[in-house]
Homo-oligomer: A and B are copies of this chain.
Amino acid sequence: MSRFQEKREQSVNKLIGVGLSLFATQGYEATSIRTIAAEADISLGLLYNYFKSKDELLEEIFRRGVQDIHDSFSDLPDNGSSSTGIERHIRQTVKLLKEKKDFWKLLHGIRMQSAVVKQLMADMQEQTAFIEARIKQNLITAGIPFPDLEAKLLFASIDGMAHHFLLYENYPIDDVASLLIMKYKK
A interface residues with partner B (beta carbon < 8 Å): 25-30, 105, 108-109, 111-113, 115-116, 146, 149-150, 152-153, 155-161, 163-164, 166-167, 171-172, 175-176, 179-180, 183
Contact = CB atoms under 8 A, between A and B. Distances in A.
Contacts of A161: 153, 156-157, 160
A112 B29 contact: no
A159 B158 CA distance: 10
Given A160-B157, A179-B146, A167 B111 contact: yes
Contacts of A180: 153
Contacts of A175: 149, 152
A34 to B, nearest CB: 11
Contact of A179 (B26, B153, B167): B153
Identify the interface centre among A153, A166, A171, A180: most chain B CB within 10 Å of its CB. Answer: A153
Contact of A160 (B27, B113, B156): B156
A156 B155 CA distance: 11
Contacts of A146: 179
Nearest to A183: B183
Contact of A163 (B105, B115, B159): B159
